[in-house]
């Protein structure tokens, strides 16, 4: 084929399907797509590939290009992996109330930094602070973009140019490039390592304290566990030492478990999770954690603790670089309000997932198996996990839908589910596709059932 066989862009623009696209998407985008499609035609190997008429091929291809270019890249997916706080799938889903609150402030203006009583300038810090203090017993709170930023900010505000004492057993990498020694270096604080990988005592911290010391750092080694010959001081003992030298103790707690009592109790998987309340009670002066892990809110970093230290954190120039936006404040405040009322707490998806009973999951799985009426489906015991670097090895007993087929491999079925709209993300274990409905919104159960039937066809 030569270029002469290819119609001009003007001729292509007159094709009805293309004219429609021009009306909807504008001429510039469409012309660009037509050029891309025409080039693709030219690049076809000679012979069968480009033997037909170029115009219909180019038009169809240009429409594909336009649809692809205008489709959002970020899409909702159904998480059937059973990992509650799935970092790759966007961590905590928000409560309906949090979504409404965020949408309300997104739509227009709000009193983010405005005192409605006096008509004067205000501070964004006031939103959520009262609730966070009520829920944790802290004196003050600060919100940042995420917990990595919160940790960076505290180290910079209270530790820059001086030494921060931390245990070698806690110099962890959380994932996504968050390494405690690197964050420390970026903050301008000098890391003073004490103890060993498996054992650190209070006396190790004590021996490292000098006039250069700014604070003691404690990090929750959230995503791994050292077993065997280990020792880690209790937080109260460490706080006692810090306060003896008039130094603050800062704890990066990560998962943000409030540890509030709940009727019927929390699953065992969460039992060992250190709580913000316990940390503050034990004497930590500042505690930082994520908004979108076990708190079940929007992505945010939350720092709670002593008011005098918080003032220094707020005044640091980095505060401006890591501050959160109005939607985050709104969603976080709504989530905290749900935490405050025990009866409303299950409105928070993470809480609902933590508390959903085996009976309920089994019943949902049964409905799914029945609607698809496929003999290859069975319900088996398994475990959901918390994920997001929280509660390592945490296992919450669950009931899984196991899918096997004589005609399609597990990876083919998994890929079919992933090609659905919205895509369904599942896991494969021993040649079976496993669906854990704990992390699936019950409203999506019927869609999942239909998708499974399609995947087996
Ligand atoms: C998750 C985690 C972080 C990072 O929090 P982000 O909100 O993802 O920035 C930092 N420290 C610990 C201990 C964590 O578990």
HEC letters along 415-435 = HHHHCCCCCEECEEECCEEEE
Nearest residue (CA) to ligand 1, atom 13 = 254
Same domain, 302 and 393: no
Same domain, 186 and 320: yes
The tokens of 345 are what?
């707490």
353, 439 contact by CB (below 8 A): yes
Nearest residue (CA) to ligand 1, atom 15 = 254
Task: Tell me, yes or no, whether 91 lies in a domain.
Answer: no
Q: How many domains does the chain have?
A: 3
Same domain, 236 and 373: no
Same domain, 10 and 105: no
CATH of the domain at 323: 3.40.640.10
CA distance 337 to 344: 9
Q: Is the CB of 252 under 6 A from ligand 1?
A: yes
Task: Tell me, yes or no, whether 90 lies in a domain.
Answer: no
Ligand 1 centroid from CA 424, angstroms: 26
Ligand 1 centroid from CA 148, angstroms: 6
The tokens of 352 are what?
């609902």
CA distance 364 to 332: 30
456, 449 contact by CB (below 8 A): no
For the chain, first and last CA: distance in Å? 40
**Which range of residues forms the domain containing residue 207?**
96-345
Query: Which residue stretches of 44-188 are H helix?
Result: 54-70, 96-107, 126-136, 147-159, 180-187
Q: Of 313, 345, 377, which closes a domain?
A: 345
Q: Can you list the pairs that 414-419 forms with residues at least 24 positions away whose Cβ atoms lie under 8 Å? A: 416/451, 416/454, 416/455, 417/80, 417/451, 417/452, 417/455
Describe the crossing of helices 147-159 and 307-315 by its angle, rounded to 10 degrees.
100
Q: Is the CB of 389 under 6 A from ligand 1?
A: yes
Pocket test residue of 255, 284, 290 for ligand 1, highest count of atoms within 8 A of CB: 290
Q: Which helix (H) or strand (E) segment is 333 a member of?
A: helix 326-340
Q: Is the CB of 255 under 6 A from ligand 1?
A: yes
DSSP annotation of 93 reads P
Please state whether 287 falls in left (phi above 0), alpha (psi between -120 and 50) or beta: beta
Q: Is the CB of 386 under 6 A from ligand 1?
A: no
Q: Of 311, 345, 379, which closes a domain?
A: 345
Same domain, 159 and 307: yes
Q: Is the CB of 174 under 6 A from ligand 1?
A: yes
Same domain, 28 and 101: no
Given this model, what pLDDT does residue 272 score? 81
Given this model, what pLDDT does residue 3 score? 54
Q: Is the CB of 92 under 6 A from ligand 1?
A: no
Q: Is the CB of 143 under 6 A from ligand 1?
A: no
Task: Tell me, yes or no, whether 132 lies in a domain.
Answer: yes
Q: Is the CB of 448 under 6 A from ligand 1?
A: no
> Distance between alpha carbon 61 and the CA centroid of its chain, in Å?
36
Q: Is the CB of 146 under 6 A from ligand 1?
A: yes
Q: Is the CB of 148 under 6 A from ligand 1?
A: yes
Q: Is the CB of 144 under 6 A from ligand 1?
A: no
Q: Partners of 167 in the beta sheet?
A: 194
Task: Tell me, yes or no, whether 229 lies in a domain.
Answer: yes
CA distance 333 to 331: 6
Same domain, 167 and 303: yes
CA distance 99 to 441: 15
Same domain, 330 and 224: yes
Q: Is the CB of 274 under 6 A from ligand 1?
A: no
Other residues' Cβ atoms within 10 Å of the Cβ of residue 173: 14
Q: Is the CB of 178 under 6 A from ligand 1?
A: yes
Q: Which of 306, 367, 294 is nearest to 335 (CA)?
A: 294
Query: HEC states along 375-417?
Result: CCEEEEEEEEEEECCCCCCCCEEEEEEEECCCCCCHHHHHHHH
Q: Is the CB of 218 under 6 A from ligand 1?
A: no
Pocket test residue of 252, 255, 286 for ligand 1, highest count of atoms within 8 A of CB: 252
Nearest residue (CA) to ligand 1, atom 12 = 254
Same domain, 143 and 244: yes
Same domain, 412 and 283: no
Same domain, 289 and 381: no
131, 336 contact by CB (below 8 A): yes
Q: Is the CB of 183 under 6 A from ligand 1?
A: no
Given this model, what pLDDT does residue 49 score? 58
Q: Is the CB of 333 under 6 A from ligand 1?
A: no
Task: Tell me, yes or no, whether 417 lies in a domain.
Answer: yes
Q: Of 329, 345, 361, which closes a domain?
A: 345
pTM of the model as a whole: 0.91
List per-residue pLDDT tens for the chain, 457 residues long: 455 578 999 999 999 999 999 999 999 999 999 999 999 998 888 765 566 788 999 999 999 999 888 889 999 999 999 999 999 999 999 999 999 999 999 999 999 999 999 999 999 999 999 999 999 999 999 999 999 999 999 999 999 999 999 999 998 887 777 899 999 999 999 999 999 888 999 999 999 999 999 999 999 987 677 778 888 889 999 999 999 999 999 999 999 999 999 989 999 988 888 999 999 999 999 999 999 999 999 999 999 999 999 999 999 999 999 999 999 999 999 999 999 999 999 999 999 999 999 999 999 999 998 876 666 789 999 999 998 766 656 799 999 999 998 889 999 999 999 999 999 999 999 999 999 999 999 999 999 999 999 999 8
Q: Which of 399, 359, 379, 374 is nearest to 450 (CA)?
A: 374
Other residues' Cβ atoms within 10 Å of the Cβ of residue 389: 24
CATH of the domain at 445: 3.90.1150.180
306, 139 contact by CB (below 8 A): yes
Ligand 1 centroid from CA 17, angstroms: 50
Given this model, what pLDDT does residue 393 score? 65
Same domain, 308 and 418: no
Ligand 1 centroid from CA 21, angstroms: 45
Dihedrals phi, psi of 114, to nearest 5 degrees: -150, 130
Pocket test residue of 178, 255, 392 for ligand 1, highest count of atoms within 8 A of CB: 178
Ligand 1 centroid from CA 200, angstroms: 22
């Amino acid at each position: 084929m030569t270029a002469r066989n290819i119609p001009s862009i003007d001729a292509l623009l007159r094709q009805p399907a293309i004219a429609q696209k021009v009306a909807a998407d504008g001429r510039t985008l469409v012309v660009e797509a037509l050029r891309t499609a025409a080039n693709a035609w030219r690049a076809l190997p000679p012979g069968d590939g480009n033997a037909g008429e170029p115009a219909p091929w180019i038009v169809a291809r240009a429409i594909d290009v336009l649809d692809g270019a205008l489709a959002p890249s970020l899409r909702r997916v159904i998480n059937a992996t059973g990992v509650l706080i799935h970092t790759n799938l966007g961590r905590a889903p928000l409560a309906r109330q949090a979504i409404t609150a965020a949408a309300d402030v997104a739509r227009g203006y709000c009193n983010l930094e405005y005192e409605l009583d006096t008509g004067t300038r205000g501070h964004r810090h006031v939103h959520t602070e009262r609730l966070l203090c009520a829920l944790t017993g802290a004196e003050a709170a600060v919100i940042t973009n995420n917990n990595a930023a919160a940790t960076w900010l505290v180290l910079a505000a209270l530790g820059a140019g001086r030494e921060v004492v931390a245990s070698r057993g806690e110099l962890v990498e959380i994932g996504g490039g968050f390494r405690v020694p690197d964050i420390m270096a970026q903050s301008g604080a000098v890391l003073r390592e004490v103890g060993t990988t498996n054992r650190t005592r209070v006396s190790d911290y004590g021996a490292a304290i000098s006039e250069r010391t700014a604070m003691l750092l404690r990090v929750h080694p959230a995503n791994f566990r050292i077993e065997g010959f280990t020792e880690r001081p209790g937080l109260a003992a460490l706080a006692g030492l810090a306060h003896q030298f008039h130094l603050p103790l800062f704890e990066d707690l990560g998962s943000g478990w409030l540890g509030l009592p709940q009727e019927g109790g929390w699953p065992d998987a969460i039992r060992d999770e250190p709580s913000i309340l316990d940390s503050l009670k034990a004497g930590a002066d500042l505690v930082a954690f994520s908004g979108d892990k076990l708190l079940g809110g929007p992505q945010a970093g939350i720092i709670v603790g002593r008011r005098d230290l918080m003032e220094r954190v707020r005044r640091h120039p980095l505060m401006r670089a890591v501050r959160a936006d109005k939607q985050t404040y709104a969603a976080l405040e709504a989530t905290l309000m749900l935490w405050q009322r025990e009866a409303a707490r299950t409105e928070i998806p993470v809480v609902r997932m933590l508390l959903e009973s085996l009976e309920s999951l089994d019943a949902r799985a049964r409905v799914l198996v029945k609607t698809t009426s496929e003999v290859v489906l069975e319900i088996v015991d398994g475990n959901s996990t918390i994920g997001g670097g929280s509660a390592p090895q945490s296992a919450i007993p669950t009931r899984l839908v196991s899918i096997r087929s004589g005609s399609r491999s597990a990876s083919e079925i998994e890929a079919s589910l992933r090609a659905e709209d919205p895509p369904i993300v599942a896991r494969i274990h021993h040649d079976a596709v496993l669906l854990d409905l704990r992390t699936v919104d019950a409203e999506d159960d019927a869609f999942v059932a239909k998708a499974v039937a399609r995947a087996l066809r």
